């Protein structure tokens, strides 16, 4: 699913849960046999050549005691909620495994920043703030309709887009049960659209692996 640099060295690799056994087999072929232990929720592998792989489970997978239970937990069927917001756009959905069961995408115009100064700048800023507030209210209404009734059956809620926009939506008191399920994983996504939401399901379910090879120096 692609890689990106990891703070502290190495790189992040994202792997679909169903492909994790195959990835582990390839890890052994490339780096030799490994020793495995679970530190908190993270499966930590140290290979014969010194390569380190820290496997972080997808949101809602739950705790694991060893490698076998980690694999079982990551592939277990579960439902998750998704809330993506950026500027005036919002996308809300519920995924059951890799399938998007329910979705709603909406957008409202929010004015961009202006380079004008003086009174005009203040006027545009107030208008933009009012538009953003209205967009957050619309997004909250959608989340209330889709996510609140489903909250008791959700393993987690994964958010993404712009943090301020997401935070503004989840500040709605009606979404307390949804906010309580919010996970640390925050997805980097484009303007919320149905295709973006469908792609976000895969990101939300991925096992994130921090891979540090002894012959690779990566900047944070």
Better-scored residue on pLDDT, 178 or 129: 178
Proportion of the chain in helix, strand, coil states, percent, rounded to 5: 40, 30, 30
Average pLDDT, the chain: 89
Residue with tokens 């489903």: 150
CATH class assigned to 79-203: alpha beta
Q: Looking at residue 109, what is its pLDDT?
A: 46
Q: Looking at the predicted structure, is the pLDDT value of residue 118 above 50?
A: no
Nearest CA to 103 out of 114, 93, 91, 118 is that of 93
- Which residues of the chain are in CATH 3.30.420.60 domains? 79-203
Q: Looking at the predicted structure, is the pLDDT value of residue 154 above 60?
A: yes
Q: Looking at residue 189, what is its pLDDT?
A: 95
pLDDT tens figures, 47-81: 999 999 999 999 999 889 999 999 999 999 899 99
Q: Looking at the predicted structure, is the pLDDT value of residue 218 above 50?
A: no
d(CA 79, CA 86): 24
Q: Looking at the predicted structure, is the pLDDT value of residue 173 above 50?
A: yes
Q: Which is it for strands 42-47 and 34-39: parallel, antiparallel or unpaired?
A: antiparallel
d(CA 90, CA 135): 8
């Amino acid at each position: 699913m692609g890689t990106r640099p990891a703070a502290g060295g190495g790189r992040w690799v994202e792997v679909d849960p169903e492909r994790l056994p195959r990835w582990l087999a390839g890890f052994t072929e490339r780096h030799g046999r490994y020793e495995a232990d679970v530190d908190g929720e993270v499966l930590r592998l140290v290979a014969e050549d010194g390569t380190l792989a820290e496997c972080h489970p997808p949101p809602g997978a739950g705790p694991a005691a060893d490698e076998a239970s980690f694999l079982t937990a990551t592939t277990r069927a579960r439902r998750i909620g998704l809330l993506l917001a950026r500027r005036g756009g919002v996308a809300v959905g519920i995924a059951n495994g890799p399938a998007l069961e329910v979705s709603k995408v909406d957008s409202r115009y929010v004015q961009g920043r202006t380079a004008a100064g003086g009174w005009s700048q203040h006027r545009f800023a107030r208008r933009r703030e009012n538009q953003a507030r209205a967009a957050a209210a619309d997004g909250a209404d959608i989340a209330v309709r889709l996510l609140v009734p489903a909250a008791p059956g959700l393993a987690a809620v994964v958010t993404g887009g712009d943090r301020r926009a997401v935070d503004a939506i989840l500040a709605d008191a009606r979404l307390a049960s949804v906010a309580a399920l919010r996970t640390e994983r925050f997805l980097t996504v484009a303007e919320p659209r149905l295709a973006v939401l469908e792609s976000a399901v895969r990101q939300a379910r991925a096992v994130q692996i921090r891979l540090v090879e002894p012959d690779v120096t990566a900047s944070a």
